[in-house]
Amino acid sequence: MAVGHDVDAARWRAMFDQAMARIAGRFKRVEPRATARAFVLGLLSGTERKNCWRLAEQADHARPGPMQRLLRSTRWDVDAVRDDIRAYVLEHLGADDGVLIVDETGFLKKGIASAGVQRQYTGTAGRIENTQVGVFLAYASRRGRALIDRRLYLPDASWCQDAGRRTRAGVPEQSQFATKPTLAGQMIAAALDAGVGASWVTGDEAYGQDPALRTLLESRGPGYVLAVACSTRVRINQGRTAARADAVANRLPASAWHRQSAGPERRVRVTTTGPGSRSGPTGTGTC
């Protein structure tokens, strides 16, 4: 739902119906198809604590069983649904100025059975909590923005190396440990392979500090603006000199900076690539 904008309810419903019709064929039977529709409507509603019990109540279901089965045992190709929705997003929001945005979020949990849950830092709470962490990819353009992919982060020692725990949680046997930047790279590569046109990729320090992700972006072509720590060593003088990012920034003259619009009432200061600087995996970033 758009925040801060008027929404035409009839048009919204028509476009929602189009999106659901796009993925209807991924469900072989009418019952899970209807349940999926009710489930998504519940997620988009104002209902708090969006678990199967609450979403079933929102949909006027007598019990949560159908929604629980949709998530646990119903056979449907979640990645194919992702592909359908990504294509739908591009049809309506695709533009030459498209940007891919990678970020993570945490889902606070009480128990220990949910896949990937453990005590770990999450920005959702701003501290270490018992949580699942997901890495997400969004697409944004002047026409709007939407999520187009997701990956669940599975901690190595507590999950990937515990076969019994993975089996109990229904984690596929072939799943392997991957860092959050690696998951981000997988989603970005999949989007580009699917024809998503992106002028830029953006992300915070958790992703900017990963050399492999920056190398991937260099090889695939889109520009990128990734935050890095001030202590990050970057190379200047055609790669001959290594220095801290904050030291390099502080030495730049005022003429090296210019302001770029980041939307209404927002400004971001960026630096141009001047003589002697080296762009690329060891020299691109913000501080």
> Residue 130, class by beta-carbon neighbours within 10 Å (0-12 exposed, 13-18 middle, 19+ buried)?
middle
The pLDDT of residue 49: 84
The Cα-based distances of 193 to 82, 188, 232, 263 in angstroms read 14, 9, 31, 29
51: domain range? 8-76
User: 148: alpha, beta or left, given left = phi > 0 and alpha = psi -120 to 50?
Assistant: alpha
The answer to whether residue 249 is domain-embedded is no
Quote the strand ranges of the chain, DSSP E. Answer: 99-108, 118-122, 127-141, 144-152, 200-203, 223-226, 233-236, 241-244, 257-261, 267-271
The answer to whether residue 145 is domain-embedded is no
pLDDT greater than 70 at residue 264: no
The answer to whether residue 26 is domain-embedded is yes
The β-bridge partners of 122 are: 127
Q: What is the DSSP string of 32-54?
A: HHHHHHHHHHHHHSS-SS--HHH
The pLDDT of residue 258: 84
**Which of the residue ranges 65-74, 131-140, 211-220, 255-264 would you say has the lowest mean pLDDT?**
255-264
The pLDDT of residue 5: 59
Domain count, the chain: 1
- Confidence category of residue 283, pLDDT binned at 50, 70, 90: very low
Q: Report the chain's mean pLDDT, rounded to a whole number.
A: 88
- Confidence category of residue 265, pLDDT binned at 50, 70, 90: low
Q: Can you give the pTM of this predicted structure? A: 0.83
The pLDDT of residue 237: 87
- Confidence category of residue 281, pLDDT binned at 50, 70, 90: very low
Query: Do 125 and 90 contact (CB within 8 A), yes or no?
Result: no
Cα separation, 213 vs 185, whole angstroms? 6
The answer to whether residue 25 is domain-embedded is yes
Query: Do 135 and 105 contact (CB within 8 A), yes or no?
Result: no
Cα separation, 148 vs 129, whole angstroms? 27
- Confidence category of residue 59, pLDDT binned at 50, 70, 90: very high
Question: Percentage of the chain surpassing pLDDT 70?
Answer: 89
The answer to whether residue 198 is domain-embedded is no
Q: What is the mean pLDDT of residues 209-216?
A: 93
pLDDT greater than 70 at residue 270: no
The answer to whether residue 86 is domain-embedded is no
The answer to whether residue 51 is domain-embedded is yes
The residue whose two tokens read 């580009």 is 192
pLDDT greater than 90 at residue 263: no
pLDDT greater than 60 at residue 269: no
pLDDT greater than 70 at residue 257: yes
The answer to whether residue 40 is domain-embedded is yes
